[in-house]
Amino acid sequence: MSQLFVRTLREDPADAEVTSHRLLVRAGYIRRQAPGVFAWLPLGLRVRAKIERVIREEMAAAGAQEVLFPALLPREPYEATGRWEEYGDGIFRLKDRKGADYLLAPTHEEVFTLLVKDLYSSYKDLPLTIFQIQDKYRDEARPRAGLLRGREFSMKDAYSFDYTDAGLDVSYQAQRDAYERIFTRLGLDYVIVQADAGAMGGSRSEEFLHPTPIGEDTFVRSASGYAANVEAYTTPVPEALPIEGLAEAVIHDTPNTPTIATLVDVANVVEPRTDRAWEAADTLKNVVLALTHLDGSRELVIVAVPGDREVDLKRAEVAFAPAEVEPATEADFEKNPLLVKGYIGPWSPTGAVLGEESATGIRYLGDPRVVDGTSWITGANADGKHVFGLVAGRDFGFDGTVEIAEVRAGDPAPDGSGPVELARGMEIGHVFQLGRKYADALDLKVLDENGKLVTVTMGSYGIGVTRILAAIAEATADDRGLLWPRGIAPFDVHVVATGKDEVAFSLAASLAAELEAQRFEVLYDDRPKVSPGVKFGDAELLGVPTIVIVGRGAADGLVELWDRRTNERTEVPAADLVERFTASLA
């Protein structure tokens, strides 16, 4: 400890928002170099190396081979797949002295694809899964939470290559299984949720989320095993209802009802129900969104959701990807006088009908719950007017359905496994079936059994190495400091010599040597003029799970074995220490 390049801090760093950031800086594991960019000190690097070792072992067990790509890559492959533009401001771009374009790679699908294309040409070469552990760069708009959302971070990214869909399923499952083993070995709780592939394209996609209140993702899960990112939740479609016998729709004057709440109040006055009062869920809310497509063009769409639900813009982004989504602006309304703000609806006395027979030329998309036979109070496309008893499938239809309504606790799981609850999670791993998107764009084909060229199908599998280090720190820390699980702690045991008695220091040194001889990694706090209080505080902050105190009892051959987790201290004879410590690991 007197030699170790570390200094603990009493004060939290000013910019630290989360526990892991706070403690990793205070305990001298990392230091900030720039927003979202960190240097690793010896303690941090030791933990990082141990996590990498676990990942490498499980990758090898899954048959994946390690390679290594540079961070600096030329523009061309990313241009070919469209991602050079798609990433927008989210990546670091630069030019070399000759003016050629480069990027600091945020992920490596393109160059892995090209490498396999360079080496392989036959179905006999497949399946193949290759991976790297490598530093990646993303120019986050708001780097924060220390290692959890940095601009430089280490990732294990693996890519699988198959020539059949069934092969891809096998490769995908092998990585998925490896991820389960990795997180289990690291002692990191996880939930596998269905995810939307988003910008990565492809078909099957699951995220490994670590449940934590500081997670950036919201996910839903049922008691019986269903779990999905809210963006991937699909609404169970109710049975259609009989239309026959339903009353005609009626238009009512409903002035000053710009919101659902005011509308419900007025509805209960102008046409009260006999069985119960009107509720927000009886109304159909029509919201105008503006999509910005990749080519820069702007398109308005109208989306209909039950009035008791908000439009979830994150779900909307996924539904309309790769377009960007925002609420329509005043300018949009001014250009479209048929859209009467606050009174938009699918049916109209003025002829401004939405949907398949639209007069507006604007796509009209509906929540899956709005099935045929359901009856709604909704806008009449005329100022101050709503229509009551408007029946889907009779009075109006959609150009399509869309998953953009908010998901709420109690909503049914789509697999019938009951109601879902909502939780926050941190993404710690992601497995994707990319399919043929990258192989198509970069022309990766192999000859199949019949000598025919077939396009390769790929998977992409990522684990954030530095992020899971922070996630583990976050999950295991207590109010006294870091508290690493065995196996990834920077040391197996932390021996602390206290007091001024030379006997304690010489006993501590010999115990440290004895433990090292048993191949344990030992941090020995040999600092001569530091008080026991400071030493104990440092030991608690650094987070090695077992601490051995060699102090007053040393003269009598006694030391204390201190379990950092339970905070239990046991006096043991020094002669038994190694045996007792070894036994405590079992």
Q: Is 85 in the site for its own copies (CB under 8 A)?
A: no
Answer for which of 66, 86, 177, 563 binds its own copies (CB under 8 A) is: 66
**Whole-number Å distance between alpha carbons of 535 and 525:** 7
Q: Residue 36 or residue 346: which is nearer to its own copies going by CB?
A: 36
Q: Is 520 in the site for its own copies (CB under 8 A)?
A: no
Q: Residue 3 or residue 274: which is nearer to its own copies going by CB?
A: 3
Helix axes 42-61, 465-476, angle to 10 degrees: 110
DSSP 488-520: TSS-SEEEEE-SS-HHHHHHHHHHHHHHHHTT-
Shortest Cβ distance from residue 3 to its own copies (Å)? 8
**Whole-number Å distance between alpha carbons of 307 and 148:** 37
Q: Is 382 in the site for its own copies (CB under 8 A)?
A: no
Residue 435 CB neighbour total at 10 angstroms: 20
Instruction: Record the tokens describing residue 22, joined without a space.
Output: 């706070």
Instruction: Record the tokens describing residue 98, joined without a space.
Output: 């000759």
Q: Is 236 in the site for its own copies (CB under 8 A)?
A: no
Q: Is 152 in the site for its own copies (CB under 8 A)?
A: yes
Q: Is 38 in the site for its own copies (CB under 8 A)?
A: yes
Do 207 and 193 form a contact (C-beta atoms < 8 A)? Answer: yes
Shortest Cβ distance from residue 190 to its own copies (Å)? 27
Q: Is 536 in the site for its own copies (CB under 8 A)?
A: no
Shortest Cβ distance from residue 145 to its own copies (Å)? 17
Instruction: Record the tokens describing residue 534, joined without a space.
Output: 């400071």
Q: Is 84 in the site for its own copies (CB under 8 A)?
A: no
> What residues are paired with 342 via a beta bridge?
none
Answer for which of 12, 17, 33, 237 binds its own copies (CB under 8 A) is: 33
CA distance to 30, 32, 58, 103, per residue, from 144 (Å):
15, 11, 30, 22
**Whole-number Å distance between alpha carbons of 175 and 491:** 29
Q: Is 490 in the site for its own copies (CB under 8 A)?
A: no
CA nearest to 569, candidates 556, 584, 586 = 584
**Counting Cβ atoms within 10 Å, is residue 462 exposed (0-12), middle (13-18) or buried (19+)?**
buried
The Cα angle at residue 54 between residues 52 and 57, in degrees rounded to 5: 105
Q: Are strands 101-104 and 92-95 parallel, antiparallel or unpaired?
A: antiparallel
Q: Is 71 in the site for its own copies (CB under 8 A)?
A: yes
Shortest Cβ distance from residue 48 to its own copies (Å)? 8
Shortest Cβ distance from residue 40 to its own copies (Å)? 4
Q: Is 7 in the site for its own copies (CB under 8 A)?
A: yes
Answer for which of 12, 53, 61, 65 binds its own copies (CB under 8 A) is: 65
Q: Residue 102 or residue 520: which is nearer to its own copies going by CB?
A: 102
| Residue ranges in 108-137 that form contacts with its own copies under rule CB under 8 A | 111, 115, 118-120, 128, 130, 135, 137
**Whole-number Å distance between alpha carbons of 231 and 407:** 9
Answer for which of 68, 166, 247, 583 binds its own copies (CB under 8 A) is: 68
Residue 434 CB neighbour total at 10 angstroms: 24
Q: Is 61 in the site for its own copies (CB under 8 A)?
A: no
Amino acid occupying residue 373? G
Q: Is 102 in the site for its own copies (CB under 8 A)?
A: yes
Q: Residue 47 or residue 507: which is nearer to its own copies going by CB?
A: 47
Q: Are strands 493-497 and 522-525 parallel, antiparallel or unpaired?
A: parallel
Q: Find all residues with CB under 8 Å of 395, minimum gap 6, and list them.
A: 249, 346, 347
Q: Is 63 in the site for its own copies (CB under 8 A)?
A: yes
Q: Which stretch binds its own copies (CB under 8 A): 99-107, 177-185, 427-435, 452-460?
A: 99-107
Q: Which stretch binds its own copies (CB under 8 A): 98-106, 205-213, 439-447, 501-509?
A: 98-106
Q: Is 519 in the site for its own copies (CB under 8 A)?
A: no
Interface residues toward its own copies, by CB under 8 A: 3-7, 28, 31, 33-34, 37-42, 45, 48, 63, 65-74, 89, 92-94, 96-97, 100, 102, 104, 111, 115, 118-120, 128, 130, 135, 137, 139, 141, 151-152
